[in-house]
Amino acid sequence: VLFYAIEKGNLIYAQKILSQNLDPNLVAENGYTPLMYAATRGDAKMVDLLLRNGADVNTVSGDGDTAIELALRIGSQECADILKRARAEQLAREQAVQSRQPR
C-alpha cells in the first residue's frame, strides 16, 4: 500500500499509512524499501516524509545499492542531498551515544 502511494506521489496518503504505524523499512520483493523506491522516482518530498517517519537511510538493497546511490543514478541531486544530510545526522547521533558509553 505504501509503495502504491509512492508510485502515485501521494504524500497525504503516504502520511496516513505511516501514521498507522506501518514499518517504513519494509522490503519489497525486488529488495527495495519505500525510501529506495521514492529515491528512484526522484521524489524529494516523499523521501523527506519517509525519513521523518523512521526510514533507514543506510539500508542496502539486494543489489548492493543505497537510496543515495539510487537517487544519484537517476540524477536527482535534491534527493541525494536530503539523504546525505539524514545519514550525517544519523552518524552524529550514533557518535554522541558512543561517546557517552563507559569505556
Average pLDDT over residues 77-103: 87
DSSP string, 22-77: --TT---TTS--HHHHHHHTT-HHHHHHHHHTT--TT---TTS--HHHHHHHTT-H
Structurally, the chain folds into a number of domains equal to 1
Tell me the residue range of the domain where 82 lies. 2-100
Q: pLDDT class for 103, splitting at 50, 70, 90?
A: low
Q: pLDDT band at residue 93, thresholds of 50, 70 and 90?
A: confident
- Encode pLDDT of 17-55 as tens digits: 999 999 999 999 999 999 999 999 999 999 999 999 999
CATH number at residue 14: 1.25.40.20
